[in-house]
Chains A and B, each alone.
Chain A
Amino acid sequence: MTAPSPPPPADPILLVIAFSGWALLRLPTDPDPTDEPRGVSGYTFAFAGEPDFDRILYLQPPANFTPRSQSPPLGVTVASAVRTDGKEVPALAGAAVNLLGEPMLENRNWNLTLPGFEPIVPFHLQITGGGVTIERDAPLNPQDPDQPVWQTPQELLLAQGARGMEFEPATIGEATGIWDSLKVVTERLRALQRELEHLKAHKGDPTAIVALEGRIAELEFAVANPTDRRVMARYFVERFGFPMTGQASVAVDGNPLGGTLDTTSPWAVSFWLGAWDPDVLCLFMKGALEVPYLTVSD
């Protein structure tokens, strides 16, 4: 007679960190070349007095950067942090979510992937706040983390890339309150026209006036062409989801997480980018990071 088998080990408890917020992305758009510095043939532009495009996805506002007027408040933050046994981890609420390095959406004019399938490279996630700093890298090629993106095999690019451009007005509306993109564009146009009148009436900075006139010209085009990308882009999302297997670290003061996080097993991140606003060069990000615990405490 054999002894009964021991019960299988319970799934580890996970820390689920949900985040959302507006990010900044100053990049040229097709059919401009990837390294076009100011925008010509696409529908995004660096206007008068602004620095050249840098293509970097900023989840937090960069230092010494002045957002365009009418921009949403920038910054992706933790909305909630909850263990899968139901216990909340309040220390992380409001923590800043960031991507370190110079993360860029990489398709290089469709040379690496089709648009909508591009990965974010590098992808080194950091969450910091409430006495906690959580970090993990997700190299495209774990066997060769330093491999340049343009040499990375197609299947690895796609594994970490977005899963396509999806028309999802409900997703956008529920997350951002934007249900009518044309209305947003029309109201933006009126607001900028008022700003322009004010600037001109008060003999404002001539460069700022030129920049505003450029934005207004693009918005006027958008209002006159409601099916143009300048309007429709807000309704699309790109969804990402992949395991993170690179270097991880967790630094804490005390025991704010209610246990010890596992820095060797894979973590899982999933999120979407969408509600792209080509006038202010911002997009919304929403998702979650799942991190297994090694040990938990009450």
Chain B
Amino acid sequence: MMNVHQRVRLAELLSEAAELEHGLMCQYLYAAFSLKREPEEGVTWAQLELMRRWEASIMLVARQEMEHLGLVNNMLTAIGEAPYFVRPNFPLGPRHYQIDIPFKLERLTLDAVGRFIEFEMPRRPDPGSEARMEATVPAVKPGRFQTIGELYEEVVSLFEQLDSPELWIGPPGAQFITTEVIPVPIRGVSLAGKAIYDINLVAVTDLASAKQAIAQILEEGEGIPIPTPTSHFARFLTIAEELATAQHEDPSFDPARPVVENPRGRITSPATREVAELFELAYGTTILMLMRYFAHTDETQAQLAALQQTAFFPLMTTAIRPLGEVLTLLPARADAPTPTAGPTFDFTRNLTFHPHRRAAWHVMLLQLQQLAADALRLSTEPVYPEPVRERLELVYENAARMALNFSGAMGIPVPT
């Protein structure tokens, strides 16, 4: 008979892993959004080229954190548990998780990158990496507290102990793979089993596939068991080295805008607050859709596709990212141009699984419509600089189109 206490522990650990991956993603996005983008912001072309590569690297890591979140949710549904998208708001003290590192939203600095290295650091880094850390971020010490890899090691151990038909009771049809969440429609070349946009979501249906998914998470994140230059750990270490070198050559070099740390409650400019709320609406709507997508009940394939075609592309790319970037250009306070704001990634209490299918769709549609209406209103406000208004106008057009598409696919008339 199954050890139910162990099973509960497994579900709890997987939920914690989901929360961690989700929280890491938000912090990485926040740092990426903070980066300066033009020479007029006080950086040289050579520095901008470096920063372009850092931003690309951080965004790739953030996408893979989303992939890890998806993989963990595949594991949860494989054992009959609910997908887990909930997370606490920022900031979080170091003792909130056993990894003992604070969770906070901060702009990209050497200290921030050092913290990211700590997140992704394996228990025993290879000697070369350890020497590089000592030279660049000496405060980062390996082996202090539990690593994320060790959390997953406990998950693997529990999977092995509990492995039986009684464990794998989730419906295989509830699993999602890359080509379902990013269905690139090319013909003549198979993308099956390949990463798309660096994302490789695989199904979990038994012990072997669960261990394979965890091995993928650890290889991509910590670069274990074999260190790779593309692991998140190695990427952040490279960024730290390049940033330290660039600042040694030019002590005035600051790659990030003066973005406020942990913006929750610190955005007092009414105009900026409205854009921050717009971001929160977009983020919240995405979360609602992801919850429904991963925990779908009796949706048809077409209805699942409608959720997918809204929540991934385009909500993440045409609303969340532009609004996150725009916020770092706007003053957090009404009485001073700096610091600038950033997205709070606030998680409100209503962000929970909506169990009644049609009502859930209705709520999502209403939120998409509100997103469009608010973006349209803000795009005409002269208080915002012209480039910000242009981006808000495109957010409006895209949100309005999403609402139209979603309404048509779900058979819910667009409310007036």
**CB within 8 Å of B: which residues of A?**
30-35, 37-41, 45, 47-49, 108-112, 114-117, 148, 150-151, 154, 164-168, 206-207, 210-211, 213-214, 217, 232, 236
Contact = CB atoms under 8 A, between A and B. Distances in A.
A111 B188 contact: no
Contacts of B400: 150-151
A165 B183 CA distance: 13
Contacts of A38: 37, 52
B49 A33 contact: no
A277 B60 CA distance: 23
B59 interface: yes
Interface of B: 37, 45-46, 48-49, 52-53, 55-56, 59-60, 63, 183-189, 197, 309, 313-314, 316-318, 321-322, 390-391, 394, 397-398, 400-402, 404-405, 408
A165 B186 contact: yes
Contacts of A167: 186-189
A34 B317 CA distance: 8
A33 B322 contact: yes
B391 A35 contact: yes
Contacts of B48: 48
B59 A111 contact: no
A30 B45 contact: no
The main secondary structure of chain A at its interface with chain B is loop
Contact of A34 (B55, B394, B405, B408): B394
B52 A214 contact: yes
Name, among A30, A39, A48, A110, the residue most crowded by chain B CB atoms within 10 Å (CB to CB). Answer: A110
Nearest to A152: B401
Contacts of B55: 40
Contact of B188 (A34, A166, A206, A207): A166
A206 B39 CA distance: 14
Contact of A214 (B49, B313, B318, B394): B49
B197 A117 contact: no
A33 B317 contact: yes
Given A167-B186, A210-B49, A213-B49, A41 B318 contact: no
Contacts of B405: 111, 154
B189 A41 contact: no
A69 B293 CA distance: 47
A43 to B, nearest CB: 10
A34 B184 contact: no
Nearest to B319: A33
Contact of A164 (B183, B185, B391): B185
Contacts of B184: 115
A33 B318 contact: yes
Given A41-B63, A151-B401, 16 more contacts: A31-B63, A31-B197, A34-B318, A35-B322, A39-B52, A40-B56, A40-B59, A48-B48, A49-B45, A108-B314, A108-B318, A110-B309, A111-B313, A111-B314, A207-B45, A210-B49
Nearest to B313: A110
B313 A48 contact: no
Contacts of A164: 185-187
A117 B56 contact: no
Nearest to A108: B398
A31 B37 contact: no
Contacts of A114: 183, 185
Contacts of A165: 185-187
A249 B322 CA distance: 41
A211 B37 CA distance: 15
A252 to B, nearest CB: 40
A109 B311 CA distance: 12
B401 A108 contact: yes
Contact of A48 (B46, B60, B187, B404): B46
A12 B55 CA distance: 58
Contact of B52 (A40, A166, A168, A232): A40
B197 A30 contact: yes
A213 B53 CA distance: 12
A150 B401 contact: yes
Contacts of A207: 45
Contacts of B313: 30-31, 109-111
A206 B185 contact: no
16 contacts: A30-B313, A35-B322, A38-B37, A40-B59, A41-B60, A47-B49, A48-B45, A48-B49, A110-B314, A111-B313, A111-B402, A116-B186, A150-B401, A154-B408, A207-B45, A211-B45
B375 to A, nearest CB: 12
A210 B47 CA distance: 9
B63 to A, nearest CB: 7
Nearest to B54: A40
A160 B398 CA distance: 20
A41 to B, nearest CB: 5
Closest 6 CB pairs of A and B: A167-B188, A48-B45, A111-B314, A110-B313, A109-B314, A109-B317
Contacts of B187: 164-167
